[in-house]
């Protein structure tokens, strides 16, 4: 009894409230996905940082934690991406969010298996390609989002209406959404649902390291920056590692030099092992608005209360 009127996205995904938890490496395991599902939204087990065996285990674990539908998020640029798609299908998952790479690669088998396919994009041109490829919806993720990001730097405020105008399929807004006010803004822009990353990363059920969560709580506005644009752009929280990368970029470092400095395993070091100085700390610009580490149920209650208050406030402007 969420009080939300069904729309195309809630019907497509079989959820009560139009809130989707983003796939986030080292943060979105079974516990987080199940908690979001139990709170009425769509939880996603994120394959991005998992080997296929662990991914299978997490899908199975999520099933023991919720009776509601949940989905998976699979970035399509890894060598084992195809394996992850097969595993999820075999495990009975019917909701697939994909990102990076082209959804064309997987659309055939997924549509044959009657699955829902949603791809994450950062431009209206790519949104149209997803529609042509047979996607059921697109997540339009703005420049302010954490983690890996588009090259065009289009913000959520502009990207969402651009994509709504570009495609017939429903648009899900992502990037800069952690509060009910921001959720109302996203729906005002024409999105039919929101995908929330950072706010759910900093929850009791996220699998990120406590030190990482606390670093986000301590962060202020302006503490994140999009870096490594010559490689795969990624939004990171300020630390010693990121400051070095920004200095190198300012001085015109080559892609090879930046790759060497980046090395291997920094995302795991930062977000799973809690190395706040030398790890990659992927988080959105909304970090400055995140001040606590509550359970998902409390986040959802606050989000929907603030959404309702905001909509009522807007109705009172005229």
Burial, 95: exposed, middle or buried (Cβ in 10 Å; 0-12, 13-18, 19+)? buried
Q: Note whether 239 binds its own copies by CB under 8 A.
A: no
Closest CA to 88 of 64, 113, 119: 113
**C-beta closer to its own copies: residue 82 or 311:** 311
Q: Distance (Å, rounded) from C-alpha 24 to C-alpha 29?
A: 9
The nearer residue to its own copies, 179 or 207, going by C-beta atoms, is 179
123 in contact with its own copies (CB under 8 A): yes
| Among 35-43, 108-116, 148-156, 209-217, the segment contacting its own copies (CB under 8 A) | 148-156
Site for its own copies in 159-198 (CB under 8 A): 159, 161-162, 165, 175-177, 179, 181-182, 184-190
Interface residue with its own copies, options 155, 261, 274, 293 (CB under 8 A): 155
| Positions in 204-233 near its own copies (CB under 8 A) | 221-222, 225-226, 230
How far apart are CB 175 and its own copies at their closest, in Å? 7
What is the distance between the alpha carbons of residues 41 and 17, in angstroms, rounded to a whole number?
5
289 binds its own copies (CB under 8 A): yes
Is 64 a binder of its own copies (CB under 8 A)?
Answer: no
**Residue given tokens 């301590």 in the structure block:** 218
Q: Could you tell me if 311 and 238 are in contact, meaning their C-beta atoms sit under 8 angstroms apart?
A: no
For its own copies, the closer of residues 25 and 159 by Cβ is 159
Residues 251-280 contacting its own copies, CB under 8 A:
251-253
- Min dist CB 189 to its own copies, Å, is 5
H helices within the chain, ranges in order?
8-13, 30-38, 52-65, 81-90, 104-112, 124-133, 156-166, 180-188, 198-201, 210-218, 240-250, 255-262, 266-267, 296-315
- Sign of dihedral through CA atoms 22, 24, 27, 28? positive
Token couple for 207: 């699998």
Q: How many residues bind its own copies (CB under 8 A)?
A: 56
How far CA 116 is from CA of 40, 131, 159, 172, in Å, comes to 18, 13, 23, 14
Q: How many CB atoms lie within 10 A of CB 5?
A: 7
Calpha distance 208→139 (Å, rounded): 23
288 binds its own copies (CB under 8 A): yes
Q: Which is nearer to its own copies, 258 or 293 (CB)?
A: 258
Using CB under 8 A, pick the residue from 29, 40, 48, 124 that binds its own copies. Answer: 124
CB nearer its own copies, residue 298 or residue 314: 314
Stretch that binds its own copies, among 26-34, 146-154, 258-266, 274-282 (CB under 8 A): 146-154
Q: Would you tell me which residues interact with its own copies (CB under 8 A)? A: 3-5, 7, 18, 123-125, 142-144, 152-159, 161-162, 165, 175-177, 179, 181-182, 184-190, 221-222, 225-226, 230, 250-253, 285-286, 288-289, 308, 310-311, 314-318
């Amino acid at each position: 009894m969420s009080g939300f009127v069904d729309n195309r996205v809630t019907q497509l995904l079989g959820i009560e409230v139009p809130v989707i938890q983003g796939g986030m490496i080292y943060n979105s395991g079974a516990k987080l996905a199940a908690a979001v599902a139990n709170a009425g939204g769509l939880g996603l087990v994120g394959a991005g940082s998992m080997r296929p065996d662990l991914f299978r285990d997490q899908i199975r674990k999520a099933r023991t934690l919720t009776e509601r539908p949940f989905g998976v998020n699979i970035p399509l640029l890894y060598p084992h991406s195809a394996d992850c798609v097969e595993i999820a299908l075999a495990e009975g998952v019917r909701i697939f969010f994909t990102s990076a790479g082209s959804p064309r690669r997987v659309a055939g088998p997924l549509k044959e298996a009657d699955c829902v396919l949603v791809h994450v994009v950062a431009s209206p041109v790519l949104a149209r390609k997803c529609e042509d490829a047979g996607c059921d919806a697109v997540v339009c993720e703005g420049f302010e989002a954490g983690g890996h990001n588009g090259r065009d730097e289009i913000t959520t405020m502009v990207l969402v209406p651009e994509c709504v105008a570009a495609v017939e399929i429903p648009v899900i807004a992502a990037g800069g959404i952690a509060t009910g006010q921001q959720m109302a803004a996203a729906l005002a822009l024409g999105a039919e649902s929101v995908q929330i990353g950072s706010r759910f990363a900093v929850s009791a059920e996220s699998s990120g390291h406590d030190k990482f969560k606390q670093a986000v709580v301590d962060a202020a506005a302006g503490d994140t920056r999009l870096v490594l644009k010559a490689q795969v752009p990624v939004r990171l929280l300020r630390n010693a590692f990121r400051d070095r990368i920004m200095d190198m970029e300012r001085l015109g470092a080559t892609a090879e030099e930046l790759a060497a400095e980046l090395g291997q395993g920094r995302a795991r070091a930062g977000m799973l092992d809690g190395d706040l100085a030398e790890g990659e700390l992927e988080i959105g610009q909304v970090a400055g608005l995140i001040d606590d580490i509550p359970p998902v149920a409390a986040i959802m209650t606050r989000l929907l209360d603030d959404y309702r208050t905001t909509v009522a406030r807007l109705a009172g402007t005229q």
